[in-house]
Chain A
Amino acid sequence: MINDISELYGRQIPQRDLAASLQRAVDIHLRPAISHDHGLVCQRCGSKLRRSLASLPNHHFYCYVCIQMGRVDTLSPLAYMEEPNRFSDNQSPLSWLGQLTELQTECANKVIEVFQRRQHHLLWAVTGAGKTEMLFKGISWAVANGLRVGIASPRVDVCIELFPRIQAAFNQVSMVLLHGKSEQRYQYSQITICTTHQLLRFYHAFDVLIIDEVDVFPYSGNPMLHYGVQNAIKPAGAMLYLTATPDQALFKAISRKKLSVSYLPIRYHGHYLPEISVIRVKNLAQQIQTSKLPKQILRIIAELVAEKQRFLLFVPHIKDLTRVADAIKNAGIMAKFETVFSADPDRLEKVALMRKRQLDFLITTTILERGVTFPGIDVLVLKADNDIFSAAALVQIAGRVGRNTDRPTGQVLFYCEVKTPNIKSCDRQIKLMNRKAAKL
């Protein structure tokens, strides 16, 4: 329920969710939630709806595509209020005292320029380049100029990790974190950090919209979320995409000159990306299927645990998690670990435990491939030749290692039966970036 009119600034909410006292406010614009003109089209998520599925009794319709964000239907129009940029004046909002490297500064200045000129731009920077810090100057400029800033990512884990860092950097600026699992109530804030799903509730809200990890599921290839992003940004707003592994759609936009790009091939601490070691193991998939692991892998795990070297152990499928966990337990390795996957109800707690150094390792699916930093870890990938591991996913996984100045290197071990094109491509990409970095 919307009780304060400010909660409607730059948002689109079914009218029935407004408190009775707000229903008649003069500045509220109403538009139908589902248009009939050319078939049924949801005006919140842009999906074309099939009549037979969208039908309610009495010739009403609802959208079954974006229903997880709360239902929109022909029973209630979408209420929207123009974004007034009503923020308190703050000429120097940046409370971050860190230093950027020369190369980071170049990118950061580019970000300011993109925001000032309201451009659409891709910042392509390797894993661990310090993307977040490179945003600070740009966000600071936007906030000082009274602009509304959105930072969205397809992954909830990325949002959760981002929020405290942005909050610490702008400790006097109003800020809200929105995702499906959060209990925090929405409030009108100058900076919004949210999942790309949450953007569906916004309409012409953001002067500046940043999409972090833009090439990843569920955003990549999802027309509903792309539609949501286009609606959430103001018509003349600035858009900044961030990733270490752009996908074909982004390259296409660049070649069509719809998107400009800047590129940073080196990490903030100046060290190269850790290169991958590919270890071929016979019958790996078969062994895992019977809850066993080859001796050499068990030995490595036992060694890492004994050395207190923390690590992430990636597996392709959810069902592999317990199998690998059983294999490790049965081998008598005494270690504290958990398994995590996307629908795991305790996922956030388990990741927090790992972050607090209360676990030796996590066994995980690709859900932790990116956007998370555990300082000084190694990574192991089991069945790296599985199709689940795209070249981008493998680059991101390798990119979890050596992110910290204290330990800028580390092991990246890919266990597989065959060296697939994806593994080769990952290897090539990392080496290419390191060569580019060497030329700087």
Chain B
Amino acid sequence: MKDCLLCGAGLRNEMPLGDLIRLTPLRKRTICEPCSAAFSPLESFPTCSGCGRKRTKEMPDPCYDCQRWEKDSQFKFINTALFEYNPAMKDYMKRYKFAGDYRLRQVFSERIHEQLRKQSAIIVPVPVGADTMATRGFNQVTGLLESDRYLELLNVRLDKKTIRQSEKNRQDRLMLGQPFEMMAPEKNQIKNQAVLLVDDVYTTGTTIRHAAALLLQAGAASVRGLTLAR
């Protein structure tokens, strides 16, 4: 008998009725029913067509944040999110990412795999920096992708201030604050290809849009986003 990864309660042969009726393969249970119920899947709600957030009645589609993005940026970016960033998700991130409990990747890796199975686009995880890798020891995004094929095409730039201001052209200035760089030898792999960027949380959208801009610049035909939470 296994224990719930989140609360340690014994996992008896709990199986929701839905799992019995569904034709898809059974999902391995890693957490108990009460812990599972605390997360809020976004598939059952109306969501923003831009960032994937849960849309309330008053909210336009796309939401105001996404309308602002559309005005300011030169490309259209669409993100899908699987869960609402609610207190349970916040607590999960705290334990998985910040406390570094790598086992907890299994709480969502199957759900993500289910989402990505039919995906034909090239899957690219958002990277973590070398300092995070040295202390945390893992990239929380690739942890979630353990059952999927992905290409690590991006790096976190070591030093953002290597280029002097005067040396920047317009393109460079657009890239101002760009935290990422392409891994040089992999550049050609995405030429004219559809790319799906994966990250753990979409908060302001800045991070994932920086990554998307870079991939488009490198020749990707299209870039969409998938995040665990929004």
Contacts and interface: CB of A to CB of B under 8 A. Distances in A.
Contacts, number: 31
Interface in B135-174: 135, 137-139, 142
Interface in A60-117: 60, 62, 64, 67-68, 70-71, 73, 75-76
A55 interface: yes
A71 B138 contact: no
B102 A62 contact: yes
A128 to B, nearest CB: 35
B103 A53 contact: yes
Contact of A75 (B101, B103, B137): B137
B135 A75 contact: yes
A288 B121 CA distance: 58
Interface residues of B, number: 11
B125 to A, nearest CB: 13
A332 interface: no
Give the one of B102, B135, B139 with max A CB within 10 A: B102
B99 A57 contact: no
Contacts of A16: 135
Contacts of A71: 99-101
B141 to A, nearest CB: 12
A58 B101 CA distance: 16
A73 B103 contact: no
B101 A56 contact: no
A64 B138 contact: no
Contact of B100 (A53, A58, A62): A62
A58 B102 contact: no
Contacts of B103: 53, 64
Contacts of A68: 99
B140 to A, nearest CB: 11
B1 interface: no
21 contacts: A16-B135, A53-B103, A55-B102, A56-B137, A56-B138, A57-B137, A57-B138, A57-B139, A60-B137, A62-B102, A62-B137, A64-B101, A67-B99, A67-B100, A68-B99, A71-B99, A71-B101, A73-B100, A75-B134, A75-B135, A76-B135
Interface of A: 16, 53, 55-58, 60, 62, 64, 67-68, 70-71, 73, 75-76
Please name the 3 residue pairs, one residue from A and one from B, whose CB atoms are nearest each other, closest first: A56-B137, A71-B100, A57-B138
